[in-house]
Amino acid sequence: MNTTGQRGSAGPQGLHLAPFRGLRYDPERIGSLAAVTSPPYDVVVRPDGLYHLESADPHNIVRLILPQTATPADRHQQAADTLQRWLAEGILAPDPEPALYVYEQRNGDLLQRGLIGALQLSEASEGIVLPHEDVMPDVVADRAALMRAAAANFEPLLLSYRSEGTRIGATAVIERTAERPPLLSTTTEDGFSHRLWSVTDPAELAEVQQDLSRQQALIADGHHRWATYLRLRAEHPQGTPWDHGLVLLVDTARYPLRVRAIHRLLHRLPLADALDAVQGSFRVRTVDGPLPRAMEALAAAAAESNAFLLTGDGTYHLIDRPSPELLARTVRADRPEAWRRLDATVLHATLLDHVWRVPDDPAHIAYIHDTAATVDKAERDGGTAVLMHPVREDVVRELAREGVTMPRKSTSFGPKPATGLVLRSLAH
């Protein structure tokens, strides 16, 4: 593969994760760390979740990642002003020296550890960091305007790589570090405990870099922010902080990610109309609730064919076994068979574009990670919830290596890093 890591010059092979001076909340100046954190910006269910987070603490990070004012320009400027005020007041403060950060998330039997750092940016064509989903230009433009105004990376992307599974290199540093007292420890209301450590020892930093220089990463979560990083890098001279972006790197050979689906809420399509339109081209069956039982029926059907669960009025309807003739007419033939068989492909190419004729824009479609929240909003709004079954990580990785992008919002990898534990300034 082409391993050029910087514009116009030969960079290190593989991944280059640089230490940085993290911005972190001063625990003496906030109510609690849990009260100032947030899920990633695109996971916050609006408006309910947004209001909940804003009221949790006056310094909740959501005021930076999702500021609320009348116009986009005002929102971005408000975030920049808020950041500067919190820095001046000591609410947020930079760590004394550059570091990589070991980050741990735990919930019952689930344990995930990884490294947060400033990753040297690269194009997909260089084969170092592999995207697997398309992005929406308006979202990238909005995130770029926010980062440009604030000169900060507010939340790390989630990237995965696969080592040989042995406890050497980066993994060894992570495991040793996790035996030390952490910089911070908190438990958020979703039941996850979070711990963060800094790694500043030059020998350990070198050990990490030597290991990562042989690795290739998959963007598990954060395609829009990665595209934003690349856009902003192109706007700045080489050799500035904009050549890097804030990421969390997880070795999935050691800590396998959990893969979930991202559901669709069709605001303007009533459930009855959605069901009428698929009659004759999909098999349509009413299945019993409650929601967990209906999702089990979806999982069973998805093992055999493309399948979707439609709801919005308290009833559940399973649609599967699409007409082969319909798929042949609506799904692109110039893509690998694994891509053609994806539920997200069939949903967008066949159902949204052809059968339901629903434009893929925010006025018509919301992408929601939480299953119950999708159903609740559909029932309140009179729309249709289209519930999906997750795709396997190995399918995602193989398509990414072939250079094939999946329909946007096809997967939700997790657990996602909490936003607000460590930020990165690009201003100094």
Q: What pLDDT is attached to residue 47?
A: 65
Length reported for the chain? 428
Tokens 């916050």: give the residue.
44
**The token pair that represents 355 in the structure block:** 């059968």
CB 315 within 8 A of CB 286: yes
From residue 427, give the alpha-carbon distance in Å to each of 125, 151, 242, 420. Answer: 29, 6, 10, 18
d(CA 295, CA 95): 45
d(CA 110, CA 101): 20
**The token pair that represents 208 in the structure block:** 């990490």
One digit per residue, the tens of pLDDT, for the chain of length 428 reads 333 333 433 344 799 999 999 999 999 999 899 999 998 888 776 566 776 887 788 999 999 999 988 898 999 999 999 999 999 999 999 999 999 999 999 999 999 999 999 999 999 999 999 998 888 899 999 999 999 999 999 999 999 998 887 778 999 999 999 999 999 999 998 899 999 999 999 999 999 999 999 999 999 989 999 999 999 999 999 999 999 999 999 999 999 888 889 999 999 999 999 999 999 999 999 999 999 999 999 999 999 999 999 999 999 999 999 999 999 999 999 999 989 999 999 999 999 999 999 998 889 999 998 999 999 999 999 999 999 999 887 888 888 888 888 887 888 888 999 999 999 999 86
Residue 1, SS3 per DSSP: coil
**The token pair that represents 170 in the structure block:** 């980066």
d(CA 302, CA 264): 17
d(CA 192, CA 188): 6
CB 28 within 8 A of CB 36: no
CB 230 within 8 A of CB 342: no
Count Cα atoms within 13 angstroms, Cβ side, for 18: 16
DSSP string, 176-243: HHTTSPPSEEEE-TTS-EEEEEEE--HHHHHHHHHHHTT--EEEEE-HHHHHHHHHHHHTS-TTSGGG
CB 131 within 8 A of CB 220: no
The rounded Cα 282 to chain-centroid distance in angstroms is: 31
d(CA 294, CA 387): 10
Neighbours of 428 (CB within 10 A): 7
Beta strand 110-120 with 100-107 is antiparallel
Q: Does the model's pTM come out above 0.75?
A: yes
- Name the CA dihedral angle for 390, 393, 396, 397, rounded to a multiple of 10 degrees: 170
CB 346 within 8 A of CB 319: no
